[in-house]
Amino acid sequence: MLTTQGVSATALDDVLKSIGVPKGSFYHYFESKEAFVTATLDSYAEYFARRLDRHFGNDALTPLTRLAAFVDDACRGVERHGFRRGCLVGNLGQEVSVLDEALRLRLEEILAGWEDRLVVCLADATAVGELAADADCRALAHAFWVGWEGAILRARLRRSAAPMQAFFAFFLAALPRH
């Protein structure tokens, strides 16, 4: 529900009804909706980190092909869910004005972790000659995630993976090569 509706539009009663949990049981585990959102975000962050590690650490592919495989997988994912689900981190980031400060900081921490993972993949690309040796992998990783989250939003709006594919083509074309 949070990936389709966001925090503001998701009523706790609707969440509880969808999973068949009484309100009293919910409050046994979570002190508030915010605590539930934080736990959900942490779970999502762990899941997504494993997904990135699987893609970016796939030594059977060249580093830029690893990134392309991630993009292809993400495009298939939004298509499979009818463009209704987005990235939980991106969705919550769009609601930053109604989130508490701790959650805002956690979102930034998660995005920085994603950037770190991509930095390693891009550094591998420099090591094998796919990118120029002086490529600023940190800046490239940051630019990728800034653009990628926007591309996902636009894909959901258009109900097409074309914005995600267009962003990735642009990103690849902008990479410093030998």
pLDDT tens-place string over residues 17-62: 988 888 888 888 899 888 888 999 999 999 999 999 999 999 999 9
Our count of domains for the chain comes to 1
What is the C-alpha separation between 118 and 144, in angstroms, rounded? 9
Predicted TM-score (pTM) of the model is 0.90
Range of the domain at 92: 2-174
Q: Which one has a higher pLDDT value, 108 or 4? A: 108
165, 75 Cβ separation under 8 angstroms: yes
* Amino acid identity for residue 77 in this structure: G
Q: Which one has a higher pLDDT value, 166 or 24? A: 166
177, 131 Cβ separation under 8 angstroms: yes
Give the pLDDT mean for 120-133. Answer: 98
Please give the pLDDT value at position 22.
Answer: 86
**Could you read off the pLDDT of 64-110 as tens digits, one per residue?**
999 999 999 999 999 999 998 878 898 888 887 777 889 999 999 99
**Average per-residue pLDDT for the chain:** 93
Please give the pLDDT value at position 130.
Answer: 98
Q: What CATH number is given to the structural domain containing 56?
A: 1.10.357.10
